[in-house]
Structure 1
Amino acid sequence: MVEQQFATVDDYIDSFPDEVQLVLSQLRQTIQQAAPGAGESISYHMPTYATGDRPLIFFAGWKTHVALYAVPAFDGELEAELAPYRAAKDTLKFSLRQPVPFPLVARVVGELVETRGSA
């Protein structure tokens, strides 16, 4: 199977069905608000946000879920809240059958901005 190449995040989001586009657009907006000034691009075939030349976070849409990548383990309460969404060591997976916890996503991105440097 050949992976589709996307020139922009808009192209990426537009490649999904309408209901998934809505969730991906909300995810994009949440990340942009939590990391103002972060650069937006496509890397590894998915939307990527970076501060300076350092990747901050990636997101992707799938048939039954959306996911955030390069999310390290956090200490304490935040990690406990993320536990139900951990799909792998550095992946958070949110089912499309449940509301995506956008405030939690914003907290994660905010923590990443703090630990990896502001935009």
Structure 2
Amino acid sequence: MDNNVAADVEAYLAGIEEPFRGMLERIRAIVRSAAPDAVEAMAYGIPTFRLDGNLVHYAAFKKHCSFFPGAIVLDESLKEDLAGFKIAKGTIQFTPDNPLPDELVRKIVALRVIENRNAVAARKSKKAARSTNVTGS
């Protein structure tokens, strides 16, 4: 991948060489399937899916690809599934020799959708409580 920031996801992927491009396109297809309401965009210079906030990001680097689902990688329910992958700061690194299993990507996306929707519900609840306190005082 070169250091130029791509204008959109298609341009980003076009600049990635195989086999990394194929791995990222597979991740992209799985996320689209698992979260059909998510919107695809570029954020932080990499492909991103948004649904009630940032959902997941993915990118290629010199020697690996990364899937960025955030702090969910620390979820105890994923510990066994993530064994064998390098995990760092909300990132799962993978390679052609050790690709992310499709089912794991689906599972992570499902967990992230729930996490984001719960966060939105919590914000709405907090806002409603503040509104009630202001008008009810």
Question: What TM-score, normalized by structure 1, do the two folds share?
Answer: 0.85
Q: Counterparts of 1:1-119 in structure 2 under 5 Å?
A: 3-52=3-52, 54-72=53-71, 73-76=74-77, 78-117=78-117
Unaligned runs of 5+ in 2: 119-137
Higher helix content, 1 or 2: 2
Q: CA-atom RMSD, angstroms? A: 1.9
Partners of 1:111 and 1:83 in 2: how far apart? 18
Larger Rg belongs to: 2
- Greater CA deviation, 88-97 or 34-43? 88-97
Aligned 8 A contact 1:71 1:92 in 2 = no
Structure with the largest fraction of strand? 1
TM-score, length of structure 2 as denominator length: 0.75
Residues paired across the two proteins, number: 115
Q: Which runs of 5+ in 1 are unaligned?
A: none
Q: CA deviation at 1:43?
A: 0.6
